């Protein structure tokens, strides 16, 4: 019986012991939503809802700029983006709307 309880995982968020398969399912990324409340996923395209000054790039991204192929991060308020002129761009979800 001692070997059986080693396969269970304690979930601190719920305070419950979970089977290994259930623990993997609950450890998924949190939901990421845009400024309008739409659910975002990896690979989505988003549009900027206001002009944004980009720190370190001395550049402003204009309202209406389309950012393609976003990647979600561990932080539900930030997304990784690729833009032609800016490498390693990270945007806050409060400034984007799903296309």
Tens of pLDDT, residues 64-99:
999 999 999 989 999 999 888 888 899 999 999 999
Distance (Å, rounded) from C-alpha 41 to C-alpha 32?
A: 7
3-class DSSP state of 23: helix
**What's the CA angle centered on 93, arms 87 and 98, to 5 degrees?**
95
Phi and psi torsions of 5, nearest 5°: -75, -10
pTM, two decimal places: 0.69
How much is the CA Rg of the chain, to the nearest whole Å? 19
Helix or strand holding residue 54 (H, E): strand 52-54
Say what percent of the chain tops pLDDT 90.
55
3-class DSSP state of 72: strand
Residue 1 pLDDT grade (very low, low, confident, very high; cuts 50, 70, 90):
very low
3-class DSSP state of 39: strand
Across 6-14, average pLDDT: 74
Across 32-59, average pLDDT: 93
32 burial type by CB count under 10 A (0-12 exposed, 13-18 middle, 19+ buried): buried
């Amino acid at each position: 019986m001692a070997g059986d309880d080693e396969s269970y995982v304690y979930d601190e968020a719920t305070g419950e012991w979970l089977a290994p398969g259930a623990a993997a399912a609950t450890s998924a990324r949190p939901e990421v939503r845009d400024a309008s409340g739409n659910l975002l996923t990896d690979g989505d395209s988003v549009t900027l809802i206001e002009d944004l000054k980009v720190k370190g790039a001395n550049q402003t991204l204009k309202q209406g700029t389309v950012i393609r192929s976003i990647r979600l991060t561990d932080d539900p308020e930030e997304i990784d983006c690729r833009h032609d002129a800016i490498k390693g761009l990270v945007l806050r979800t409060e400034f984007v709307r799903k296309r």
